Amino acid sequence: MTVRIKLCGVRTVEDALLCAAEGADEIGVIFAPRSKRRVSVAEAKAIRDALPARLPLVGVFLDAPLEQVLRVAREVGLQAAQLHGAWPAETADLPLYAALQVTDESSLQPRPGAARILLDGPAGGSGKSFAWTLAEKARKLGPPLFIGGGLTPDNVAQAIAAARPSGVDVASGIENAQGYKDPARVRAFVEATRRASFK
């Protein structure tokens, strides 16, 4: 089993290139208005332009209308959009990933048309985790399952063993005190995930 790695909350070209060099399978940029990791469309476009074309850039949105999501995706060149909060009734030609803020089993609600389900902590961007064993119950939702929320280089192997996800998603767990990506933590997270993938 190869677990995909999405390194999220990237705010600068320098951090994006660091994450790419250390082996990220995907990079995430956040457009949610209240997030301390929020980037502008121009900043996200600079990140997209600097990254290898093969490396997907995923935009993260909170309660954003689908029209806005698709407009930003076109301007930036996103390969997918991860939606927290409201889920659109309409379909899109862009892959849409549904993020569920997990508190208990009742949080595991279907998202019709989702290309991926992310089980996240109870509050997005908080660095708090959920009960990883709930991932087994979430498999009935259908799409590939990623986990996030409170992951670090120290606990990601344990999380993978408990949840058996298709991928992992991390932001705060690979940052320094200033909120930028820490090279040693990025490297340690990727290495721990790769080791756990083959157990």
pLDDT tens digit sequence for 80-94: 999 999 999 999 999
Question: What is the share, in percent, of the chain residues with pLDDT greater than 70?
Answer: 97
**Is 6:193 a contact under the CB 8 Å cutoff?**
no
Q: Residue with structure tokens 């889920």?
A: 87
Distance from C-alpha of 123 to C-alpha of 15, rounded to nearest angstrom: 24
Residues 15, 19, 25, 120: which is the catalytic one?
Answer: 120
DSSP reduced 3-state for 44: helix
Between CA 47 and CA 101 the distance in angstroms is 27
The confidence score (pLDDT) of residue 122 equals 84
Q: What is the mean pLDDT of residues 81-110?
A: 95
Q: Which pLDDT score is estimated for 197?
A: 85
pLDDT of residue 172: 95
Judge whether residue 21 has pLDDT over 90: yes
Query: Does 1 score more than 80 pLDDT?
Result: no
Task: Give Cα separations from 106 to 73, 130, 138, 184 (angstroms).
Answer: 31, 13, 10, 37
pLDDT of residue 19: 98
Provide the pLDDT for residue 75.
98
Tell me if residue 120 is catalytic: yes
Task: For the chain, give the percent of residues with pLDDT over 90.
Answer: 90
The question of whether 8 is a catalytic residue gets the answer yes
> How many residues are given for the chain?
199
Give the confidence band of 79 by pLDDT, cuts at 50, 70, 90: very high
In this model, does residue 198 exceed pLDDT 70?
A: no
Q: What CATH number belongs to 4-197?
A: 3.20.20.70
pLDDT tens for 110-165 read 999 999 999 998 876 667 889 999 999 999 899 999 999 999 999 999 999 999 99
Say which of 8, 19, 25, 169 is annotated catalytic: 8
Is 78's pLDDT higher than 90?
yes
Domain positions in the chain are: 4-197
pLDDT of residue 64: 97
Local confidence band at 199 (pLDDT 50, 70, 90 cut-offs): low
